[in-house]
Amino acid sequence: MAVYRYCPQCGSPLELLPHSGRERDACIQPECGFVHWNNPLPVLAAVVEYEGKLLLARNAAWPEKMFALVTGFMERDETPEQGVARELKEETNLDAHSVSLIGVYEFMRKNELIIAYHVQASGTIALSEELADYKLVAPEDMRIWSAGTGFAVADWLASRGHPVRFFDRQTGEDIPDPRRREGLGQPGISLQYRP
Ligand SMILES: [Zn+2]
């Protein structure tokens, strides 16, 4: 996340000052009043169903075995549903036919809030330059990373009666749903699929 040292309004240095219950980077000039609130940024994520399978994509910058949901930020003047459809089109060339909310998930590690949708899509897959590869995985074969967007996949799989199998990144072993074991509010990381 970005760290600001100077006020974007007046150019004065920022200092940690108390505002609304916690210390925040704020302009030292009282007449300016700029506060860097650093609120979580919403991120759209899509559990994409394509020809009966789930589409996972690998970002060009990621390790070879790491696949995840299609994600992206919202643009000004669009609804989250429009944003999901736009991101899907931009990144995979697929058209979204239905976009329905799965849930909202914390992703504190990156100061983001994940808004996850189930998207039914069709068309011909053509990846953008951002993406290096994709996989189509049968829902019953999904093994999911136990945080972040993984919880959205888990909730969608459970809602359709599919098995929900989390795995441990270190050992590769199946593990129980960590939300049941450790409770809600664990810092998240992105979904990972292992063949
Ligand atoms: Zn200022």
All domains of the chain in start order, with CATH = 1-38 (2.20.70), 41-182 (3.90.79.10)
Q: Is the pLDDT of residue 193 over 60?
A: no
Q: Where are the beta strands (DSSP E) in 60-168?
A: 70-73, 95-107, 112-122, 131-137, 144-145, 166-167
Q: Is pLDDT above 50 for 186?
A: no
CA of 10 to the centre of ligand 1 (A): 4
Report how far ligand 1's centroid is from the alpha carbon of 111 (Å).
Answer: 24
Query: Separation of 15 CA from ligand 1 center, angstroms?
Result: 11
Quote the pLDDT of residue 78. Answer: 97
CB neighbour class for 81 (10 Å; exposed up to 12, middle 13-18, buried from 19)? middle
- What values do phi and psi take at 120, rounded to 5? -95, 125
- What's the pLDDT score for residue 148? 85
Sign of CA dihedral 74, 142, 174, 68: negative
pLDDT at 180: 65
- Alpha-helical (H) ranges within the chain are 80-92, 149-159, 178-182
Number of H helices, E strands in the chain: 3, 11
Look up tokens 């996340």; give the residue: 1
| β-strands 95-107, 70-73 pairing | unpaired
- Beta-bridge mates of residue 40: none
Question: Does 64 have pLDDT greater than 90?
Answer: no
pLDDT digits (tens, 9 = 90+) for 98-140: 999 999 999 999 999 999 999 999 999 999 999 999 999 999 9
Residue 63: predicted pLDDT: 81
- Going by C-alpha positions, the residue among 59, 17, 39, 42 that lies closest to residue 192 is 59
DSSP states of 28-56 as a string? S-TTT--B---PPEEEEEEEEEETTEEEE
Task: Calculate how far, in angstroms, residue 108's C-alpha sits from the geometric centre of ligand 1.
Answer: 28
Distance 75 CA to ligand 1 centre (A): 27
Dihedral of the alpha carbons of 55, 44, 40, 34, in degrees to the nearest 10 = 140
Q: How much is the pLDDT for 106?
A: 92
Amino acid at 91: E
Cα-to-centroid distance, 57 and ligand 1 (Å): 42
- 32 Cα–ligand 1 center, Å: 5
Whether 62 has a pLDDT exceeding 90, the answer reads no
Give, as residue ranges, everything with CB less than 5 Å from ion ligand 1: 7, 9-10, 12, 27, 29, 32, 34
Mean pLDDT over 135-154 rounds to 92
Does position 96 have pLDDT exceeding 90, yes or no?
A: yes
Q: Residue 2 — very low, low, confident or very high, per pLDDT cuts 50/70/90?
A: low
- 42/149 Cα distance (integer angstroms): 13
